[in-house]
Amino acid sequence: MQLTRRQLTLLILLTLVWGFNWPVMKLGITDYPPLTFRAISIWIGLPVLGVALVLMKVPFTVPRERYRELFWLAAANMLVWHALIIIAIKQLSSGRAAILGYTMPIFSALLGAWVFGTQLQRRSWLGVLAAAVGVTLLLWFELTDLSGKPVAVLLALVAAATWALGTQLLRRTTIPAATLTLSFWMTAMTAVMLTVLGAVFESSQWKAPSAATWGAIVYNAVLIFGFAHAAWFSLARDLPPVASTLSVMMIPVLGVFSGALWLGEVLHWQDWAAVALMVVAIASVLAPSRSGKN
């Protein structure tokens, strides 16, 4: 498996957009209800994604008999992730929430091997191990704080595991529709469901967003829901699951350091060591082998 130029470009842009979004989200929900923040961002981003389908002449149609499967793909790939991780980041630092969220590649590799029968090569297991050690190092100085916030930690890990399952299911779906089409309808379904959750649990907290919150909403609407999710779903469908998931492991590293720069979150030697381990994890699945096979 080797990346095409298009896939590499998408991967680089995805890493930058998603990596910088962790402190952006933290700033946006500081004094704003998190589920409502997510719902507004998705509703504004959905037309952006729709315009992309129109300009690229991609059909919107999905066979009616596949609606149920599409709903479960939306729940696993978007709804659970977005609902739980945005609540968790309200309680955790942006960098550490990113680390917990990006245990997803570890869950994905293990699910692939244990549930879906994927045969992992030795160097893929090396990548999983390196990523796991990197996550452990990055959490080193957070153990005290995390022990006081068990619910937030659990929510982040459940979000990561569910997203990993969704990635495996998306890779195996046989719905006869373009990835961009699936992305549009999964985003639309998630927008509706998050709006309902926001109305049920946060309506008493509703207020006009501040300037900082609006900035975070626009960033998420255009770059996350208008671009990043469609790019990710394309990579997840085209690349092997381990490669597509481990290949984005630089995102939490970028999240950690951007959070330190913008929000003053303190870094330790474990953060720097984790950078090297994440590079090892990426190289283990993306570097071509001598035989040309992974």
pLDDT tens digit string along 252-271? 888 888 998 898 887 778 77
d(CA 229, CA 190): 12
Residue type, 179: T
User: What is the residue-averaged pLDDT of the chain?
Assistant: 86
The interaxial angle of helices 80-91 and 94-101, nearest 10 deg, is 150
Angstrom CA distances, 176 to 19, 64, 172, 184, 237, stand at: 32, 11, 12, 14, 13
Residue 31 lies in a domain: yes
Residue 42 lies in a domain: yes
Residue 278 lies in a domain: yes
Cα torsion angle, 112, 101, 232, 244, sign: negative
Residue 155 lies in a domain: yes
**pLDDT for the residue numbered 129:** 87
Counting every residue, how long is the chain?
294
The distance between the two most distant Cα atoms of the chain, rounded to a whole number of Å, is 61
Residue 294 lies in a domain: no
**pLDDT for the residue numbered 147:** 59
> Over the stretch 116-144, which tens digit does the pLDDT of each residue have?
877 777 777 887 888 888 877 767 766 66
Structure tokens at 25: 């989200």
What total number of domains does the chain contain?
A: 1
Q: Which residues contact 23 (CB under 8 A, 6 or more apart)?
A: 94, 95, 255, 258, 259, 262, 263
**pLDDT for the residue numbered 148:** 59
Residue 190 lies in a domain: yes
Query: 173: exposed, middle or buried (C-beta count within 10 Å: 0-12, 13-18, 19+)?
Result: middle
Residue 274 lies in a domain: yes
**pLDDT for the residue numbered 141:** 66
Show the domain range for 146. Answer: 5-286
DSSP letter for each residue of 178-231 = -HHHHHHHHHHHHHHHHHHHHHHHHGGG-----HHHHHHHHHIIIIIIIIIHHH
Residue 210 lies in a domain: yes
Nearest Cα to 126, choosing from 279, 232, 19?
279
